[in-house]
Chain A
Amino acid sequence: MQKFFHDAVEFVPILLQGVWLTIVVTVGSLLLSTVLGLAWALMRVSGIGILVGLSAAVINVIRGIPIIVLLFYIYFVMPDFGIALSALQAAIIGLGIAYSAYQAENFRAGIEAIDKGQIEAAQTIGMGWWLTMRRVVLPQAVRIILPPYGNIMIMMLKDSSQASTITVAELALQGKLIASSTFKNTSVFTLVALMYLTMSIPLILLVRHFENKANRK
C-alpha cells in the first residue's frame, strides 16, 4: 500500500496531463455529437421524405461502423483526400460523429413522446414547424431526453480512451506509456481506473438528478 502511494505521488502529475486531454476530447465530441444528433433527429421528424431518408441512412451507417474504424478512417484515410487533421481534432470529430447516431435516437424518442395535441395546439395559434419545435416540443422533450443524455455522457467519457489508438495522449494512453516504461502495471492502471471513476461520479450524480427531476413531473 505504501508503495502504491509512493507511485501515486510520482505518476499522478503525468497522468493528470492525460486527464486534461480526456476532458478536452470528451467535451469536444459531446458538443459535436449533440449538434449533429439534434440535426439528424430534426430531419427525422421533419416529415420531409428526402430528409427523413437521409437521416435514417446516416444514422444506420454510423451505427454500423466501429468507433475505432471511424477514427482510423478520419485520421489515416482523410489525408489522402487532402484533409489532414491533428490527432486531437480527428478524435473529437470521430467520436462526435460516432455518438451523434445515439444522440439522434435519444432526441427523436424524446420528441416523439410529446403528445400530438401539443403540436396541434401550437398549429392552431399559427405556429409553423420550427416555432412549434422551439417553443413547444423541445422544451418539453428535454425532460425526457436528459436522463439518457447523461448516460451517453458517461459512455463518451469512457470511450474517449479510444482516441489513444490514434496517438492522442489522453489518460489511457498516458497510463499505458508509463506502465510500459516502469513495469508498475498494478499501480499505474489502478490509478488510471480511479481517475476515470472520479470523473464519472459527478456525471452519475447528474444523471440521478435528471431522473429525479423527470420523475417529479
Chain B
Amino acid sequence: MIELRDVHKSFGKVEVLKGITASVAKSEVVCIIGPSGSGKSTILRCINGLESYDRGEISVEGARVDSNDRSIVAIRTQVSMVFQRFNLFPHRTALENVIEGPLYVKKEPREQAIARGRALLAQVGLADKAEVHPPKLSGGQQQRVAIARALAMQPKAILFDEPTSALDPELVGDVLSVMRKLADDGMTMVVVTHEMGFARDVADRVLFIDGGVIVEQGAAKSVLNQPQHPRTQDFLRRVLHPL
C-alpha cells in the first residue's frame, strides 16, 4: 500500500536519500534500521509529507504524495505518525489529545469521538489517565497516548519514528507490547527503531539503511540473524554487542 520509487532528497548540498525503492504491503510490519544520520527518519517524514522529496515517487494506495498539494491532508489521515518525542499537545488532556483529530478533522460527533477515545486509551492501558495532562505522565505513558491519538484517525498505516528512543529503559517494554498488539491485529506499520529484539520478533521485513541507500533488506530473521552485507554485519555487531 506504500510504494517508494527511486526517492531522492537533499538538505542543501547534503543528499540524505540517494534513490530509495521499497514497498510496504497491507498488514505488513517493516522495520527500518541503520546508523543515525542514515536517512531513516527522513524516509518516514517523506511518506506522510512532513518533508518534500526532490526526485522519484512515493504513493500511498495509489495516491501520489506531494507535500505541497492539498491531497496531502487526506493522505495524512490515512497514514498516522508516532514521534520519538511524542509531541502530545501539553495544553490538552490525554483524552482531548486522542479525540482532537476525530473531532476537528473528521468532524465526528462529540459523544462518539469520546467513547472511541476512551476505548483507545483503555486499549493502550491508560483508561485511568484520560483526564490527565501529558506533562504529568511518564514518557512511556505519553507515547502510548500518542499511539492512541494516531489510532483515533483510523489510519490504514502508522509510521513510528524511533518511538522508544526517548524513553527510560524500563518503560520501553510497555510501548513495544502495545505496538506488538497492533501488529498482531494486522495494522500496517513502518517502524524506525534501534530495538533489534522487536524487529526480530514482530517485523515481517527489515530494511538496513546506510548513507541514504538501502544496503540490505529481507525477512526480519534472515537480515538480523544472517546479515549478508559487511556494513550490516558491522552495524548489528555494534548495536547488539556495544562492548
List chain A positions with a Cβ less than 8 A from chain B: 115, 117-118, 120-128, 131, 135-136, 139-140
Contact = CB atoms under 8 A, between A and B. Distances in A.
A131 B87 contact: no
A124 B104 contact: no
Contact of A126 (B76, B83, B85, B89): B76
Interface in B60-116: 73-74, 76-77, 80-81, 83, 85, 87-91, 100-101, 104-106
A45 to B, nearest CB: 18
Contact of A125 (B50, B74, B77, B90): B77
Contact of A124 (B76, B90, B91): B76
B150 to A, nearest CB: 8
B169 to A, nearest CB: 23
19 contacts: A117-B83, A117-B87, A118-B87, A120-B50, A120-B87, A123-B50, A124-B48, A124-B50, A124-B76, A125-B100, A125-B101, A125-B105, A126-B76, A126-B101, A126-B153, A127-B105, A135-B104, A140-B89, A140-B91
B100 A124 contact: no
B50 A121 contact: no
Interface size classification for chain B: 20 to 34
B106 to A, nearest CB: 8
B80 A121 contact: no
B149 interface: yes
B76 A123 contact: yes
A79 B19 CA distance: 65
A136 B163 CA distance: 22
A43 to B, nearest CB: 19
B214 to A, nearest CB: 24
A140 B77 CA distance: 24
Given A123-B50, A125-B153, A131 B104 contact: yes
Contacts of A128: 73
A18 B35 CA distance: 71
Contacts of A121: 83, 87-89
Nearest to B85: A117
Nearest to B149: A125
Contacts of B88: 121
Contacts of A117: 83, 85, 87
Contacts of B152: 125
A118 B89 contact: yes
A158 to B, nearest CB: 33
A136 B150 CA distance: 16
B190 to A, nearest CB: 13
A140 B90 contact: yes
A126 B105 contact: yes
B77 A126 contact: yes
B87 A125 contact: no
Contacts of B91: 139-140
A125 B149 CA distance: 8
Interface in B26-84: 48-50, 73-74, 76-77, 80-81, 83
